[in-house]
Amino acid sequence: MLKAPRGTVDILPPDSSRWQQLEAVLRSISRKYNHEEIRTPTLEHSELFLRTVGEETDIVQKEMYTFKDKGGRDLTLRPEGTAPCARAFLEHGMSHGRLPKKLFYIGPMFRYEKPQAGRYREHHQYGAEILGSPSPYSDVEVIMLAVDIANELGLSGTQLFINTIGCAGCRGKHREDLTRYLEKHREQLCPDCRSRLERNPLRVLDCKEGSCKAVVKGAPAMLDYLCSECKDHWNQLKGLLASYKLPFEVDTSLVRGLDYYTRTVFELKWPPLGAQDTLLGGGRYDGLVEEIGGGPTPGVGFAAGLERILAASEKGTKPLRASFGMDLFVISQEDRFPSSLNAGFSLLREIRDAGFSGDFDPLQRSIKSQMKQADRLGARYVAIFGAEEMDGGNVTVRRMKDGHQDTVKVNEVVSVLSGEVAESDAAKQ
């Protein structure tokens, strides 16, 4: 039997309704913050990620789905959404419009990683980006947006970790001293970190290996190398977070796995998730747009993994329901009550026209089995077309939560559903 590729998952009903609800929450929060949606292609020229995410990163070195298309173009399934946003921002002249440009996106990302709980080869991200603002208020605004998402989903106890990795100017000297320090401790580093040492020494700082952690403890800290502008930005950021009551912890080993970051980096974790507990991560990327040929355009943003947010939602205080519920399930049994199927189907048309949701059983199983189906679907009401109802244009409407039942005229069902007529008051003739 053919199966979905390793590390990918099918999103099936009724679970897909949890995805839709999450997406609705994300869209509505984005609107509150005035972020507009952008949809970029799933494919990009590989060069975009080489130049921005960075040739020495794990993503580019090990994880990209890169291939040549039939025209010989070197393409990559996007592993992340920030570089594509910046590319579209430039390509479509958004840089000439009013800045900052506040964007959001929801879509699949692809990384050839070792699949495990919370880590997939195709995962989905919600991302929010602010392009064209150097202000620390913009850093705080995206962090607020991120925290709002967690709060809205009932994920209390999230932990915000922040760090600064300086700018191209102040990072050089730090990198030099860090490399020299790590070289001295080369023997204690894990094999991965030994190779990182040449390629990307900053990444040694967030290695999870015990021996590397011990070395990192004594490493030169970026905070001591910040230029005065980066130091100002960092201090303003911390001051604003404190004054807006956004609790944070400074984690000097937080460096993130993408090369485009400058100054602020942050992650929001939710410990009950276990090993993969990073709900979202982001930071400032003041050189990214220039890297792909644009003018100086500071930017800041973050992205959240939807699979992780959904896994967290199950354990949070406001779990997203795996069903939307339904307003009305219509029950008829054509072989016992001729024309009841047609009467029921007409009623469905009427209630859907009035904006309500409903369904029926085209296979006309027993009334008992249809009642069970209505229950499974979370129907608020069922409308039963039985023997007596079939003479006289009536239908029995049953409120599922308490079993209250009344016989009403078929054309009154819409009023019952909208709560305009209490069932017991509905005229019975």
DSSP code of 224?
G
Residue type, 257: G
Q: Provide the sign of the torsion angle of the four alpha carbons 305, 311, 313, 317, taken in this order.
A: negative
Nearer to ligand HAM, 292 or 371 (CB): 292
Minimum CB–partner distance for residue 298 and ligand HAM (Å): 12
Minimum CB–partner distance for residue 328 and ligand HAM (Å): 38
Minimum CB–partner distance for residue 126 and ligand HAM (Å): 9
Nearer to ligand HAM, 277 or 412 (CB): 277
What is the spatial distance between Cα 298 and Cα 37, in angstroms, rounded to a whole number? 20
Nearer to ligand HAM, 120 or 360 (CB): 120
Minimum CB–partner distance for residue 120 and ligand HAM (Å): 4
Nearer to ligand HAM, 233 or 308 (CB): 308
Minimum CB–partner distance for residue 48 and ligand HAM (Å): 12
Nearer to ligand HAM, 164 or 332 (CB): 164
H-type alpha helices, 42-186: 46-49, 58, 82-91, 136-152, 168-184
| DSSP-derived secondary structure for 235-257 | HHHHHHHHHTT---EE-TT---S
Residue 75 near residue 66, CB atoms below 8 Å = yes
Nearer to ligand HAM, 205 or 331 (CB): 205
Minimum CB–partner distance for residue 307 and ligand HAM (Å): 5
What is the spatial distance between Cα 201 and Cα 380, in angstroms, rounded to a whole number? 59
Closest residue to ligand HAM, Cβ-based? 305
Residues 6 or more apart whose Cβ sits within 8 Å of residue 183? 197
Residues of this chain that bind ligand HAM (CB under 6 A): 80-82, 111, 113, 119-120, 123, 125, 127, 129, 257-258, 278-283, 301-305, 307-308
Q: What are the b/e assignments for 339-371, b being 16+ CB within 10 Å?
A: ebbebbeebbeebeeeebbbbbbeebeebeebb
Minimum CB–partner distance for residue 266 and ligand HAM (Å): 9
Nearer to ligand HAM, 25 or 331 (CB): 25
* Partner residues linked to 164 by β-bridges: 264
